[in-house]
Amino acid sequence: MGKRVVILGAGESGVGAALLAKRKGYEVFVSDGSSLKENYRNELLQERIAFEENTHSLDRILQADEVIKSPGIPETAAVMKAIRAQGIPVISEVELAYRHMGDSRIVAITGSNGKTTTTSLVYQLCRNAGLDVALVGNIGYSFARQVAEDPHALYVVEISSFQLDDIDRFRPHVAILTNITEDHLDRYGYVFLNYINSKFRITQNQGPDDYFIYCADDEVTQRHIKNFSIQSNQLPISMKREVSPGAFIKDGDMYVRTGNEVMTMSVFDFALKGKHNQYNTMAACVAAATLDIRKEKIRDAVQHFEQLEHRMEYVLTVRGVVFINDSKATNINSTWYALESMTGPTVLILGGVDKGNDYSLLAEGVREKVKAIICLGKDTRKIHEAFEAIVPVMVDVQSAEEAVQTAFQIATKGDTVLLSPACASFDLFKNYEDRGQQFKKAVKEL
């Protein structure tokens, strides 16, 4: 075939796309504006895939028949402007994977919050039921790598708005939209509607045999859903009203109906606690029901779900002080949810690289529950401005270890120390996993 593809960005999604494109007979060139991680560089060398790092050679890039763009690269980048000016088609890695996955099916999950938990739950439900399933996307392997190296009949894909921006034919059999809150607005010209439109693209290629699961209690979703001509079967979830088909919670019981059968289960049996997790659990149960997974299997998996690392992850209790690692909270809303599930006095560790955060959204939760804020990051000015009038103690620190030790000195028995930064981690850490790992290590050394 010899079609020429250029892949921009050589992280997990870029390298996954390169492996798949090469196996499918494309002529592949990978270009990354920064330096590659060693494992990815070695993989490209081993597979004899041409690449460049720390630069974008436009003369070579603009010869592409198609460009596969990593989700981290904004449209405002010079290289993207040059590609768009030439009119070269641009797709995302998930679109490439979709084209080559054969007759497999996809459950795709997007949303501002709760998508990682929901994705993991759906995967565990499918695996528990004995389906031939792989977990891909923002969790673990890229979708393209999985299709290239170890294909499956079903893919559970966590997908971001950035990846949805560059789809063409990508069509999930089941699509889940957990909710929509203001996140990543820096990538959408600070226009919230652009971000909303991106999220709804998950439904754009769906047909009457497909399913769309969404939260009927999320006002943004509810307000905008009528602006899209959604062809799939809509399955709302709610805690505020009875819906059918779909799922709802009433008087402590969950009811799920997608066909003729109704499944019920007490929310007290859910392994995941907290109100936001009841939404995540409902969405996953509805998805499982559309895949014809038996009720007993669904109940069993929901009762025994294992908690995710860096997502409201219990670490240790040291002298009566509970430590929680919620390093994956990289936006305000995630931290809002974390605070919502706190029951006692909290020492909150906040900060990092701010994506235009509006901290006033946390004010109420902070006023009610937070006795001290530890600011972990290089620039903490905005956090001080937002909270110094309502929080008696605020301390700036420069490392996870210092954050943990300071928090432990302030906390007393019965308090919780919560790492839920509401920010990206790139000022002091490699990524949110590194931040969470360092936090846990410091707790264990107390």
Domain boundaries, the chain: 4-91, 95-303, 313-444
Phi-psi region of 260 (alpha: psi -120 to 50; beta: other; left: phi over 0): alpha
pLDDT score recorded for residue 343: 77
Query: Over the chain, what is the mean pLDDT?
Result: 93
Of 44-58, 132-146, 172-186, 298-312, the range with the highest mean pLDDT is: 44-58
Answer for the pair 56, 79: CB distance below 8 angstroms, yes or no: yes
Question: Residue 266 contacts by C-beta under 8 Å, 6 or more apart in sequence?
Answer: 252, 253, 254
CATH 3.40.50.2300 fits 313-444, yes or no: no
Percent pLDDT > 70 in the chain is: 98
Mean pLDDT across 325-332: 91
In one letter, which amino acid is 92? Answer: S
Residue the block writes with tokens 């996954």? 16
Angle value at C-alpha 158, between 157 and 160, nearest 5 degrees? 130
Q: What's the full length of the chain, in residues?
A: 446
Confidence grade of residue 186 (pLDDT, cut at 50, 70, 90): confident
What backbone phi and psi angles, to 5 degrees, belong to 154? -140, 135
pLDDT over threshold 80, residue 138: no
Mean pLDDT across 153-159: 96
Per-residue pLDDT of 271-290, as tens digits, reads 887 888 899 999 999 999 99
pLDDT over threshold 90, residue 114: no
pLDDT score recorded for residue 259: 87
Q: Evaluate the omega torsion of the peptide bond into residue 245 and state whether it is cis, within 30 degrees of 0.
A: yes
Per-residue pLDDT of 337-378, as tens digits, reads 788 778 789 999 999 998 788 899 899 999 999 999 999 998
Q: 146-150: list long-range contacts, CB under 8 Å, 24+ apart.
A: 146/16, 146/97, 147/20, 147/97, 147/100, 147/101, 148/16, 148/19, 148/20, 148/23, 149/19
pLDDT over threshold 60, residue 76: yes
pLDDT score recorded for residue 307: 65
pLDDT over threshold 90, residue 311: no
pLDDT score recorded for residue 38: 85
Mean pLDDT across 173-183: 93
Answer for the pair 415, 322: CB distance below 8 angstroms, yes or no: yes
Q: Where are the alpha helices (DSSP H) in 271-397?
A: 275-290, 295-303, 332-340, 363-369, 381-387
> Are β-strands 133-137 and 174-177 bridged in parallel, bridged antiparallel, or unpaired?
unpaired
Q: Which residue has the higher pLDDT, 427 or 29?
A: 29
- Which CATH number among 3.40.1260.10, 3.40.228.10, 3.40.50.720, 3.30.70.270 corresponds to the domain 4-91? 3.40.50.720
Answer for the pair 83, 67: CB distance below 8 angstroms, yes or no: yes
pLDDT score recorded for residue 308: 66
Confidence grade of residue 137 (pLDDT, cut at 50, 70, 90): confident
Q: What CATH homologous superfamily does 95-303 map to? A: Mur-like, catalytic domain (3.40.1190.10)
What number of other Cβ atoms are within 10 A of residue 424's Cβ? 17
User: Which of 122-131, 132-141, 307-316 shows the lowest per-residue confidence on average (mean pLDDT)?
Assistant: 307-316
